[in-house]
Structure 1
Amino acid sequence: MIHPRDIHTLTEFKRNSTELLRKLETSGRTQVLTVDGRPKAVLISVEVFEHLAEQVEKAETLEGIKRGIADMEAGRTMSLAEAEAELKKRFARRRKKGSKSA
């Protein structure tokens, strides 16, 4: 939850950026920047950003696993030999396109 003391105008941030960045580092609390009284940007610590990025990556991985399981259950699979043949065709097409533009 954003606390009112963690909301600042963009002008205030421009004037006191060093102090507000120090506050962000020491408190670990998200800081909100406003323009014309409306929220326009959020400042988060590097640690919070890294945590959020890790959570997004985990969620994307889980979603990919779920899609893979659904594909298996629906019979949308191919053998290793079929997959290799398909990849070879795709790479061959890309090479042809690449050599034409060179």
Structure 2
Amino acid sequence: MFNSSDIHTVTDFSRKPAEHIKRLMESKRPEILTVNGKAAVVVQDAETYERMAALAEYAESIQNIRQALTEEGRPLDQFTKEFEAKNGINR
């Protein structure tokens, strides 16, 4: 997913932010910023971030739907009777 051209030091980023921002906007690839040789943060352009966030939200929705489909339900009349009894509702 990442290659060596995506890895930069925080110092380099802070010295040349415009250069990095231009590269981020053009490549649409995130950059890993390092501190003392270790990955510290990931930066990316806003458009790519928004697309990634939307995809994550969509994936979460699909996961919730799949979970709901695997759960066992009960007939509506059974639920209604139990709900009414639990809440003291008489009809």
TM above 0.5? yes
In the other structure, the counterpart of 2:73 is 75
In the other structure, the counterpart of 1:28 is 28
Structure 1 position 47, deviation (Å) = 2.1
Q: Where do 1:44-83 residues align within 5 Å?
A: 44-71=44-71, 74-75=72-73, 78=76, 82=80
In the other structure, the counterpart of 1:100 is none
Percentage of identical aligned residues: 33
Structure 1 position 22, deviation (Å) = 1.1
In the other structure, the counterpart of 2:19 is 19
> Which one has the bigger helix percentage?
1
Letter aligned with residue 57 of structure 1: E
Structure 1 position 76, deviation (Å) = 5.1
Structure 1 position 3, deviation (Å) = 2.3
Name the CA distance, whole Å, in 2 between partners of 1:15 and 1:48: 24
List structure 1 runs of 4+ shifted beyond 4 angstroms: 76-79
Q: Where do 1:86-101 residues align within 5 Å?
A: none
Decide which moves more: 18-27 or 30-39.
Answer: 18-27
Name stretches of at least 5 consecutive residues in structure 1 with no aligned partner.
Answer: 90-102
Structure 1 position 42, deviation (Å) = 0.9
Name the CA distance, whole Å, in 1 between partners of 2:75 and 2:27: 51
Q: Could you give the per-residue CA deviations for residues 56-92 of structure 1, whole angstroms, max 9, x where no partner exists?
A: 1111111111122122xx235656x84xx79xx8xxx
Name stretches of at least 5 consecutive residues in structure 2 with no aligned partner.
Answer: none
Structure 1 position 29, deviation (Å) = 1.9
| TM-score normalized with structure 2 length | 0.72
| TM-score normalized with structure 1 length | 0.66
